[in-house]
Every structure is written in C-alpha cells, then in structure tokens.
Structure 1
Amino acid sequence: MKLSLIVPIYNEEQTLQTIIQRILEMDFGMEREIILIDDASTDATATVMKELDRLEEIRALFQPRNMGKGAALRRGFAECSGDLVLVQDADLEYDPSDIVKLLQPILNDDADVVYGSRFSKMNPQVLAYYHYLGNKFLTHVSNLCTNLNMTDMETCYKLFKADIIKNMKLEANRFGFEPEVTAKLAKTKSRIYELPIKYYGRTYREGKKIGWRDGFAALWYIIKFNLFTSFHNSFESDLPNKYRPGNLDH
C-alpha cells in the first residue's frame, strides 16, 4: 500500500522544514509520498519547498494565487497516487507519530475513514477556551445534521481511503473543507473511526490563521452541505458501490 500525505501551506517558512523532517523520520510500514501545496505564500515558504522538492518522496506544487486551504487540498487529492490519503498541516500543532495509530483501523479493515480527535484526555495541553468552545459548538451542530457522534469535526488529521476522497466533489475553498467533507462522508456507507491524538495549539501571534469569520462560514457550510446538497452532487459516478447508500441509481 501507499500513503499520500497532503500538506496545504501558507506562510509556514518557520515550521515547514521541521514538520517534514518529523514525517520523514517515521516508519509507516508502507510506501509514501508527501505532496506540498503552496497557497501563494508571501514569505520564504516557496524557497523552503523548492529545497524539499529535491527529496525523492516529496513533490512541491504552487498555486497561481492565494485560493485557500480547501482549494489547495483539492489539488493535492487530484495529484496524489496513494491508496490512503492523509491531511497534514504545515505547522507544529499535530504530531506525526500519531499517524501510525490512525492507520491501524483501516489496515485492520475496520474503517474507511479515520479522524484524529484533539479533545481527549490524551492531550495534556490547556487550550484557549473560546477556540475550544467554538470547535465543540461547530462539531455539535455538525453532529445534529449528520447523525455522526463525533468529538472533533474540525480536526486537521483526517485519513481516507483514496477511492472515497478522490471521488468526492469538493467546493469549499477555505476552512470550509472540514464541515463539507464530514457532511459528504455522512451521506455514504463509509465506516468512520475517531481516535485521540496529541495537539499543540498555537496562538494567532504564533501564526494561527483560522478566525471568527471562518466559524460563521463553517455554520453555513454545515447547513449547505447537509441539507441542500444531494449524494449525487457530492460524489463522482465512479465512487465504488460499497460506499453508496441503498436505493440509488448507480
């Protein structure tokens, strides 16, 4: 099997080299590729990426203009060649050592998708309360719409079987990717797992980019993609039948 790690990047010159080095030090027990997508950074991120692109496992892609995390991920999903696909942020909030654990439910054929939850007793860091409350609120509203019992819909660490995510019709360009992909997964028969992960949240001073406007946008995306988007408008026609709900024309 092959694992594709998709890394959307915007102004992460300070952390990109470190997070990629940590990933390269990991043994996932399978072939891997790391696809870096620069979202028209204004710092020296592109220079760092060009250096990393010399490594055999890494491909560097560059967006023509700043288009948002969701748009960068769409390009990464289209370009990747792995059997499994993982979203990896370019900062240091997530620990790549957790990836080995996230892989296990899929390798054991118990899951098709695995989310890493930041909100567990495994995470010792005291987080900013308002940020925590906002995430819990959005997850709760998402759960009401999807009927999924998740604890962290907004997490970065999402691992998919490639035939699911590559056949999903994604629209959101910024941070709306999280509620969109969750809503569309809920329309399938995908087996979804959620496992606790470590989390080292950074402040806005340290480079955190998501803001309150993205929170309001997430509410709209939850409503839009759950209530106003059909299964047929969520997936390409060649999504394998095993993921499709019953009573649909294939």
Structure 2
Amino acid sequence: MTDHDDVCVLLPTMNEAETVARVVNDFRDVGFENVLVIDGGSTDETQSIARESGARVVEQSGRGKGQAVREGVRDHVEAPYVLMADADATYDADDAAAMLEPLFAGEADHVIGNRFADMRPGAMSRLNRIGNRLINAAFRAIHRNSYRDILSGYRAFTRESFERLHLTADGFGIETEMAVECVKNRVSVEVVPITYRERPGGSATNLHPIRDGGVIFLELYRKAKTNNPLFYFGSVGVASTAAGLALGAFVLYRYLAFGISHEIIAVGAVGATILGIQLLVFGVLADMIYSLHREQIVRYDRAISDEAVTESSADDGE
C-alpha cells in the first residue's frame, strides 16, 4: 500500500492524445496508482494511450467536462478523496501533496489550486487573464467570498463533500458551479498556491474564451438567485429603474423644450420605473428571508453537534 491508496486522480479528457500519457505518468511517478480518465468520446488516441500508461479509462455517457466530473465521481470513484486535474499537462503533479494536505489534516473539505501564485510565462493569454480576473471579481461581489481562482481545474475534495453539491453544469462552468455550491452549502474551502504551465506544443485547448466566459458569467448570476437574492433581483431592479428614469427625463425634456409629447415612451418609462422599484423591494425581502434561513440552518447544525457531544459524553460515562 502507498500513502495515496485512498485518493483517486480524476482526469476529464477530450482529444488529449498529445499530453495524457505525460500527465498519467507524472501522477503515477509521485505515488498515485488510482488514476481515472473519463473521456468525452475523443476522436484521437487519447483512450488507448491513457490505458497503456496505466490509467483506468471510462467513456462518459454524455458530453462536456461538467457531466464528466459528475459521472466520474458519482459512478466510478470509490476512494474517499478525489484529486481532479486537467489532462493538458498545465498542472504539476508535484503540487498534489500540498493540495491534499488540508483534506488529510481535516482543515478543509475542498481545495482549490491558485494558478496565479506561480503562473509561468505563456501559460495564459492576456485575454484569459483579464477574463479570469473579472470572473473572480464578480464572484467576490455576488457570492461574498474570495477563492482567488475559482476557474482553476486543479481541485482536491472529499467524496462526501462533493455529494453535498448540487451540480448541473455540463461544460467548463463546472468549476464556477463547484465554487458557488461550496459557498451555498458551507463546505470548508482552502486555497493552495500551485504552478501553472504553458500547454505543450502540439496540444490544442478545448476552451473558447468568449463563449465559455459568457457561460460562466451567466452561471454566476443564475446561482445568485439562491445565494444572494438581493444582488440577483436588485441588479435588474436598479437597471430597470435607471432605464425608466432616463426615459422619463427624455420625455420631460422634449415636452418642456419643444412641446412634443411622447405618450408611448412615457408609459414605458413609468412601467420600467415601477417594475424596477418592485424588484428592489422583492430583493430586500428575499434577502431577509435568506438570512433568516441561514440562521436557522446554523442553529440546527449547532443543536445536532451539541446532541452528538452529549451522547458521546454519556457513552464515555458508561
């Protein structure tokens, strides 16, 4: 037995023939024998190369990285700890020990590798850097937590904590959704500095910055409905109110300056303003309900914990 027999390395793949052998071998070289490659139906030699390198290979039933991660963990992983990475050789297997340490020490249930701590030249384009910064800033503003690099694909987590997350994203939004669900379900998270390298020559990325970035922003906003309702409804309310006031000012200016009335625009301005104010009020009320709900959950968890301590003390007394 090795020190990592209770860890499964999970590698979602899609046409990674150029790099998958190197990644599998790197993890096996540092002591991880249980390497699971869950493939999205690659049209190259990814699956056969991964098998020859010693990995267990499963072809996912659906499509997309998110679906691969969900299926891989829930249907094909029995180990209590999961170390998730990309198969493009951008992550360093030598960082695995640091990623797992908070789990083994009981300090966290979910660990995120911070790529910005040691990002090598050429590892990320300027556009991707800007996009990552904006997405992380949006996450902090919307979900009121800072995980520094929520888009990192290098993760370590307990299988039990993963089952507490309600994940539905199929594509690259899975990392964002995992971060949001950790906040929502109060899963303890630790951020660990890692090395992020440039993709080896000959390998192509499956990421489309504009398309996938838009999906991620929408995912952040959609999840705010149940995690920060004031932002979810309030942002639309502010936009609607501002639009209504702007239209109202335009109508008033045209009437006072030129005597021209715009009845239809005026009706639209009033409607937009009323809708915006209603959404703002609804957002405040929803946020109050959410805060009370969170307080009740904390009290319930505390009561369960106290009850468990009492039962343990009683058993020790016997």
Higher relative contact order (CA 8 A, sep 6+): 1
Match of 1:12 in 2: 16
Contact kept, 8 Å, 2:139 with 2:146, in 1: the verdict is no
What does residue 25 of structure 1 align with? 29
Match of residue 91 from structure 2: 94
- Tell me the residue number matched to 1:220: 218
Q: Pick closer, same or farther for the CA change 1:72–1:85 going to 2, 3 Å.
A: same
Matched to 2:156, the amino acid is L
How far the C-alpha of 1:124 sits from its partner, in A, is 3.9
Using the TM superposition, give the Cα deviation of residue 245 of structure 1 relative to its aligned residue in structure 2, in angstroms. Answer: 4.4
Q: CA deviation at 1:74?
A: 0.8
Query: Which residue of structure 2 lines up, in the alignment, with residue 241 of structure 1?
Result: none
TM-score normalised by the chain length of structure 1 = 0.83
Match of 2:158 in 1: 161
Aligned to 1:235: none
Two-structure CA RMSD over aligned residues (Å) = 2.4
Amino acid at match of 1:92: A
User: 1:187–1:245: 8 Å Cα contact kept in structure 2?
Assistant: no
CA 1:47–1:124 in structure 2 vs 1: closer, same or farther (change >3 Å)?
A: closer
What are structure 1's unaligned runs of at least 5 residues? 231-243
Q: Which residue of structure 1 lines up, in the alignment, with residue 267 of structure 2?
A: none
**Does 2:127 align with 1:75?**
no
Distance across 2 between alignment mates of 1:226 and 1:245: 19
Compute the displacement of 1:248 (Å): 6.4
Alignment partners' CA distance in 2, 1:203 and 1:245: 47
Q: Give yes or no for contact 1:10–1:41 (8 Å, CA) kept in 2.
A: yes
The amino acid across from 1:197 in the alignment is: I
- Separation in 1 of the partners of 2:201 and 2:224? 30
Q: 1:108-187 maps to which residues of 2 (within 5 A)?
A: 108-120=105-117, 122-126=118-122, 127-187=124-184
8 A contact 1:3–1:33 mirrored in 2: yes
- Distance apart, 1:217 and its partner CA: 0.4
CA shift, 1:205, in A, is 7.0
Q: How far is 1:83 from its partner?
A: 1.3
Q: Percent identity over the alignment?
A: 25
Unaligned 5+ runs, structure 2 = 229-295, 305-318
Structure 1 moving runs of 4+ over 6 Å: none
Q: In the alignment, is the contact (CA less than 8 A) between 1:9 and 1:37 conserved in 2?
A: yes
The AA in structure 2 aligned to 1:2 is D
Alpha-carbon distance change, 205 to 15 in structure 1, aligned in 2, over 3 angstroms: closer
Structure 1 window deviating more from structure 2 (69-78 vs 139-148): it is: 139-148
SS of equivalent to 2:211:
helix
What displacement does 1:213 show? 0.2
CA distance in 2, matches of 1:154, 1:201: 16
TM-score (structure 2 length as normaliser): 0.66
2:7 partner amino acid: L
Counterpart of 1:38 in structure 2 is 39
